[in-house]
């Protein structure tokens, strides 16, 4: 019922797919209109998530350079903290018909 991907700035990566022999591909959004096929899927899979993670941590590193002259500033400390201590995580709950399914799971 749940798939996830997680990565950090060091490139460490964990996934619910590691227990499976075949990686999953998840369509998470789409456009549904009367009389038409489903259009505009957003696909989340390991390759795309790793690219997003690399980009996100790269942007945080660039932001850190903006404050390079401010070694002790709170802004720089916050940005470096996010980049160095936080994991980027994507959680997909496949029981989308359950109104509070993901929140019930996360809060339990």
Whole-angstrom distance, CA of residue 82 vs CA of residue 77: 9
pLDDT score at 5? 92
Q: What is the separation of C-alpha 49 from the centre of its chain, rounded to a whole number of angstroms? A: 6
Indicate the DSSP class of residue 41: E
- pLDDT averaged over 10-residue windows placed end to end, the chain, 108 residues: 90 81 71 76 86 93 78 80 91 78 83
Whole-angstrom distance, CA of residue 26 vs CA of residue 21: 16
Instruction: Mark out the alpha helices in 6-100 (DSSP H runs).
Output: 46-66, 74-85
pLDDT score at 18? 67
Whole-angstrom distance, CA of residue 3 vs CA of residue 14: 11
pLDDT score at 30? 67
pLDDT score at 49? 92
Q: Where are the domains of the chain?
A: 2-107
Whole-angstrom distance, CA of residue 91 vs CA of residue 6: 9
């Amino acid at each position: 019922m749940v798939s996830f991907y997680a990565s950090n700035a060091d490139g460490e990566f964990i996934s619910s797919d590691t227990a499976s022999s075949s990686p999953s591909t998840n369509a998470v959004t789409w456009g549904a209109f009367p009389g038409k096929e489903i259009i505009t899927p957003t696909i989340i899979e390991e390759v795309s998530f790793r690219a997003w993670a690399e980009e996100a941590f790269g942007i945080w590193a660039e932001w850190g350079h903006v404050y390079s002259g401010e070694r002790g500033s709170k802004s720089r400390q916050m940005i470096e903290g996010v980049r160095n201590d936080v994991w980027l995580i994507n959680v997909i709950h496949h029981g989308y018909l359950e109104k509070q399914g993901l929140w019930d799971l996360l809060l339990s």
